[in-house]
Amino acid sequence: MMRQSRIYIFLTIVIVLFTMTACNSSEKKIKENSHDLPTIQKHGKLIAITDYNSTSYFIYRGTPMGYQYELLQNLAKHLNLELELTVNSSLDDAFSKLIESECDMLAINLNITNQRKELFSFTKPIGKTRQILVQKKPENWRKMSKRSMEKYLIRQQLNLAGKTVHVVKNSAYYSRLISLQNEIGDSINIVEVENYEAEQLIALVEKGEIDYTVADENVAKLNQTYYPNLDVETAISFAQNQAWAVNKNSTLLLAEINKWVQNMQGSALHAVIYNKYFKGKKAKQRNESPYMSIQSGKISDYDKYIKKYSKKVDWDWRLMASLVYQESRFNPEAKSWAGAYGLMQLMPNTAKRFGASNTSSPEVNIKAGSKFIKWLDKNLKDSIPDKNERVKFILASYNAGMGHVLDARRLARANGKDPNVWIDNVDFFILNKSNPEYYDKDLVRYGYLRGTETFNYVNHIMERYEMYKKLIQ
């Protein structure tokens, strides 16, 4: 009996120790997997997912714009972080990435629901909106009285019974229609559409390809300004809070965002940003413009030539477009204080060497610029075999001249850095070529350079290129 008691005690101790070890291991795993502000600050980037539409995030005349984009820029500045923004038209995929800590936040106007609150944490409300039924007016609506037209439109939610309504998959619109079925005691044929934004479904209603969809009121009314044959007067919900979302573990990030939201709401800055995208003639003009990336896929008037000559240098046309934007903002009449001119901002001697002048057409100017890029590529190819890495050296040479870039490479080699890698290697010495400690050395042949300009030049072009890749086919 005594022996059995000892065995029992021994087994109990083993079980307790095993349980403690398992708990500690589990706690350690949770701690390691936690994704909160200190980890984000360590990486120096705020990674956000938003949606690609005419209000949240888009390219206009080559420039990234959008309501969510501007708010996020302001938030990233508040957190002293670099903003890394990506787009995702699948809510399921976006939710999954947030839960798995593949991003830091969802900067999408999400309706706050109990089901979603179990999966992630919501910020303080960014705004309020109602859900609106989007439907097409009858063909001859302009000649009809308002009273006559009302006969063709759904004004009572009860009349949605038996109708087919297409909505974004896994959206709050779907949840609302499910609830509405119970309220009216009849069925609605709800079709969930994957990889579509609400605005894309609105466009399908306008074309007559689907009968009805649901959208937030501010988005529906903005779309009506350039689709006047749409009706957006029937609300199917009360006003609902909308917010951004963060991972459940990101408690410190949530608290910091909430402080920012509290200061931003009701401010003059927020009013300016909101009105810029949801009110006024400019919003309508922007959405009707051929430079609106959503509708046209265009970056500039000169895309045709940029595409043609980017092939000559084996570049992605969006990379060259980013360079042209950086140089001239797509203004063929642009002139710099130093004498550079045209879309590619070539200096007179460089332009002449590659077949252009200050009276050349935009196409000839782009052609000459591409020849200059090809010449730079040829001179760097043997020493920097990696094509993607070489691009950054070409850009720096385009801006500052190859001599200064070769100086920076020599400095990198002499200081134990890799002369064939730009980031955290050669870029440091370009940046410091205005410092006598670096430029006043025997191995430096081209002397002083205001390196901040070249450093930023490369970074801005590459960052814009990444945005173009995400938003432009």
pLDDT, tens digit (0-9, with 9 covering 90-100), for 222-264: 889 878 999 999 999 999 889 999 999 999 999 999 999 999 9
Q: Do residues 97 and 49 make contact, with C-beta atoms less than 8 angstroms apart?
A: yes
- Is 327 among the residues known to form the active site? yes
Rounded to an integer, the average pLDDT of 401-409 is 95
Give the pLDDT of residue 28: 39
Q: Please, are residues 71 and 48 in contact by the beta-carbon 8 Å criterion?
A: no
User: Is pLDDT of 433 > 80?
Assistant: yes
Q: Of the ranges 88-97, 137-146, 283-292, 431-440, which one carries the lowest mean pLDDT score?
A: 283-292
pLDDT of residue 373: 98
Query: C-alpha angle with apex 438: 436 to 439, nearest 5 degrees?
Result: 65
Tell me: pLDDT of 34 over 90. Answer: no
Residue 459 pLDDT exceeds 90? yes
Q: Supply the pLDDT for residue 284.
A: 67
Catalytic residue chosen out of the listed positions 327, 363, 389, 437:
327
Q: What are φ and ψ of residue 122, in 5° steps?
A: -95, 145
288 falls in which pLDDT band (50, 70, 90)? low
**CA angle in degrees (0–180, nearest 5) for 168-174-175:** 140
Chain length of the chain: 473
Which pLDDT score, from 0 to 100, does residue 4 have? 46
Check whether 32 has a pLDDT greater than 60: no
Of 109 and 286, more confident: 109
Query: How, if at all, do strands 127-129 and 63-65 pair?
Result: unpaired
- pLDDT single digits (tens) 160-188: 999 999 999 989 899 999 999 999 999 99
Q: Which two tokens stand for residue 249?
A: 């573990």
pLDDT tens track for 111-123: 888 889 999 999 9
Q: CA dist 56 to 53, 63, 80, 109, 198, Å?
A: 6, 14, 22, 9, 12
